[in-house]
Amino acid sequence: MLKKEDGKLFLEEGHNVVAELIYEEHDAYYDVTSTFTEPEYRNRGLARDLVDEIVEMARANDKKIQPTCPYVAFVIRSDQYDDVKIK
Which residues fall within 8 angstroms of residue 35, CB to CB, at 6 or more apart?
A: 19, 20, 21, 22, 47, 50, 51, 69, 71, 72
**Sequential pLDDT tens for the chain (87 residues):** 899 998 999 999 999 999 999 999 999 999 999 999 999 999 999 999 999 999 999 999 999 999 999 999 999 999 999 999 997
Residue 59 lies in a domain: yes
Q: What pLDDT was estimated at residue 1?
A: 83
- The pTM for the full model equals 0.94
Residue 37 lies in a domain: yes
Provide the domain count of the chain: 1
Residue 87 lies in a domain: no
Residue 67 lies in a domain: yes
Domain that holds residue 44: 2-81
Residue 58 lies in a domain: yes
Question: Residue 7 belongs to a domain with what CATH number?
Answer: 3.40.630.30
Residue 86 lies in a domain: no
Q: What pLDDT was estimated at residue 54?
A: 98
